[in-house]
Amino acid sequence: MEVPFARPRFRGDEGEAVSATIASGWVSQGPRVREFEQAFAERVGAPEAVATTNCTTALQLALYATGVGPGDEVIVPSLSFIATANAVWQCGATPVFADVDPRTYNLDPVAAERAVTSRTKAIMPVHQLGLPADMDRFFEVAARHGLALVEDAACAIGATYRSRPIGSLGPLACFSFHPRKVITTGEGGMIAVHDPDVAERLRRLRQHAMDVSDLARHSANDIVVESYPERGWNARMTDMQAALGLCQLELLDEVRADRRRLAERYTAALGQISALEPPYEPDYAERTWQSYAVKLRRGVPVTRTELQRRLLRDGIATRRGVTAIHAERAYSDRGFLLPHTDACARDAMLLPLFPDLSDEQQDYVIERLATHLSAAVAA
């Protein structure tokens, strides 16, 4: 049996929606992007949303609009995809890594506060694998030290924190529509924004800081000459992506429900395998189950990589757990001591989880895991 690691759900009418967009003549950023922004903002409970090329550019623009620049520091978890740190670097600032809570894999507010210096400009918690960070505590830390707060919500569309949607907490939360996320536009990102002036500036910055949009220029009845009051980037989403995104938004509740059902099946079954530690579920949040992470308990006589290799021979695709950025060569020159991050990065493994994973496929994954771990313990 072949079991892929991830696969987005499509319902079949996406091609028609994209074709209609192409027929309209708008293939770059235009009316469909604005429609997608409005629908997304309403969905996550934010006054505004600003679409971008991907979540990395969303994070970079959000940090930049917050005032992050050369000489500043931004506190981030090392246990994250490398884009979290890269977005800080792209602003000319320095990412400062703090340790995580080993149960949730999310940035530890206490460790983050210990990392604050006179150069700290912002804190960027990550809602890792779709599980919201403990945001009340981060708001308290930010308020005590006069810091900005930007949420890396790449995996968290549809998640809630104390019954509030991620995106509604403010001031800035950045989402991803990569195919491995809960919904997809192929590539794409979105910033949930609570200040209309910031939203307007972000829309300029994503389009070379041009002071008038393409949509406004093309719909004008007279000659419009744009100007560039500051420097910006090209981070525009296309109308074709937005058309797909609108279709995907309609599937969000269905996809979340299927992911949760599958995650609960994993947890019930894997709880019987003593060598594995299932994910921790805090009572303050509802996650998206963007990924399902298990942790190999210490002392198990098989490495994670070897277990992955055996599963791959069975036709089952897995991934290592979340990256420890400070251990990657690009960021390994500053000697951070992050024991919880190191342990999570070493011992965690992501299992196949996507809305169309069949019960038969999932049972096969569970059976092969149990077989390989039993054999390793018995050897």
Query: Rounded CA gap, 302 and 373, in Å?
Result: 8
The one catalytic residue in 43, 178, 181, 194 is: 181
Query: Rounded CA gap, 33 and 35, in Å?
Result: 5
State residue 264 phi and psi, 5-degree precision. -65, -35
Question: Exposed (0-12), middle (13-18) or buried (19+): which is 51, by Cβ within 10 Å?
Answer: buried
DSSP state of 215: H
Segments in the chain forming alpha helices (H) = 14-24, 31-44, 55-66, 83-90, 109-114, 135-145, 196-205, 214-219, 239-270, 304-313, 339-347, 359-378
Question: Exposed (0-12), middle (13-18) or buried (19+): which is 117, by Cβ within 10 Å?
Answer: exposed
Across 346-356, b (16+ Cβ under 10 Å) vs e yields bbbbbbbbbbe
Query: Rounded CA gap, 223 and 33, in Å?
Result: 24
Tell me if residue 348 falls in helix, strand or coil: strand
Provide the Cα torsion 91, 134, 161, 62; round to 10°.
-10
Separation of first and last alpha carbons in the chain? 26
Is 181 an active-site residue? yes
From the list 42, 96, 56, the residue with the least C-alpha distance to 74 is: 96
DSSP codes joined into one string, 244-298: HHHHHHHHHHHHHHHHHHHHHHHHHHHTT-TTEEPPP--TTEE---SSEEEEEPT
Beta strands across the sheet bearing 276-277: 276-277, 292-296, 348-351, 319-320
State residue 195 phi and psi, 5-degree precision. -110, 120
Query: Rounded CA gap, 294 and 297, in Å?
Result: 9
> Which residues are known to be catalytic?
181
